[in-house]
């Protein structure tokens, strides 16, 4: 059974966003990393790039497959998780501690379009 954290927001494409004030930390869910298998590469945007809710901002590659990353929210990239450049497998160890990008939210109301932990749990059928 996948680990799901209360208080985060979840997208149908299996990204999460952890919100602290006007800052969102975006990564992939435990369910997503299980489906992918061993993550070998994470393609991330540049700092100051803009991301748009529902649109691609990068990709995660595993031994089995590559999967696009879609941003659950819109905003400007404040930071990328540089640790993932050297050790992308950190996502497999703990996807919630190892966010991929940190963004300044430009439209916080978009969070209303995302799932809560309970809804996400139903969505993945666990």
SS3 42: strand
Q: What is the pLDDT of residue 1?
A: 84
pLDDT confidence of residue 6: 97
d(CA 51, CA 57): 6
3-state SS assignment for residue 57: strand
Backbone angles phi and psi of 12, in degrees to 5: -65, -20
The answer to pTM > 0.95 is yes
Q: Is there a contact between 95 and 62 (Cβ–Cβ < 8 Å)?
A: no
**Domain locations along the chain:** 9-123
CATH for 9-123 is 2.40.50.100
Cα 92 to Cα 27: distance, rounded to the nearest angstrom: 11
Residues of the chain with pLDDT below 50 are none
pLDDT of residue 63: 92
- Amino acid 126: pLDDT: 84
The two beta strands, 66-70 and 9-10, are: unpaired
């Amino acid at each position: 059974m996948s680990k799901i954290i209360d208080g985060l927001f979840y997208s149908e494409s299996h990204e999460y966003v952890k919100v602290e004030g006007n800052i969102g930390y975006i990564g992939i869910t435990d369910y997503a990393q299980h489906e992918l298998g061993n993550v070998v590469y994470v393609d991330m945007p540049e700092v100051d790039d803009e991301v748009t809710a529902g649109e691609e901002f990068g990709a995660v590659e595993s031994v089995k497959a590559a999967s696009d990353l879609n941003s659950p929210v819109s905003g400007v990239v404040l930071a990328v998780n540089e640790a993932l450049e050297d050790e992308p497998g950190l996502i497999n160890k703990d996807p919630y501690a190892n966010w991929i990008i940190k963004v300044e939210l430009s439209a916080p109301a978009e969070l209303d379009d995302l799932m809560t932990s309970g809804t996400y749990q139903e969505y993945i059928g666990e």
